[in-house]
Amino acid sequence: MRMRGKLPIFSYRDTFSLDATLAPIICAGLKKFKDTISSTDWGGYPNGFKTEEDWHEVLDKMIWSFENVDFEIGLPPEYWEEFDGLDPLEVITRERTPTQKVLWGEYMDNCEAHQEKLQEGFDLFAKHFRSLWW
């Protein structure tokens, strides 16, 4: 993506993973927005919030999601130890050990928790999109 004046110009490559293209832009904007409302008298918070701190907590959740959208949770090294020296086809077809099955379950739980936390921030962004002004 590039800018021509105030208009963004997207190439077809930018649209392959538009979420990855937009996430850093939105994240930088949310950080600047929070910094601006925190350091000036123009701050405040939207209707529906009891305090400015509550609003900042929601902004932090949004920021976290856009910062971590590309973060990948990896399997622990112990999972791969059983495969050292094996042919790739053997890795695919080999039965997993009980330890590997436990590690896989933990990995999947961590992935699910990460996705839920990401989605919480994205949902808050959508819900409060029209409140991002000062």
Digit-coded pLDDT (tens) for 1-51: 888 998 989 899 999 999 999 999 999 999 999 999 998 887 789 999 999
Percent helix, strand and coil across the chain, each rounded to 5?
A: 65, 5, 30
pLDDT at 60: 98
pLDDT, position 71: 86
What is the DSSP annotation of 59-121?
HHHHHHHHHSTT--PPPPHHHHHTTTT--HHHHHHSPPPHHHHHHHHHHHHHHHHHHHHHHHH
Over residues 125-132, mean pLDDT: 97
Q: What pLDDT, in 10s, does the model give residues 68-118?
A: 998 888 888 988 888 888 888 888 888 999 999 999 999 999 999 999 999
- Residue 3's pLDDT is 87
Per-residue model confidence (pLDDT) at position 42: 74
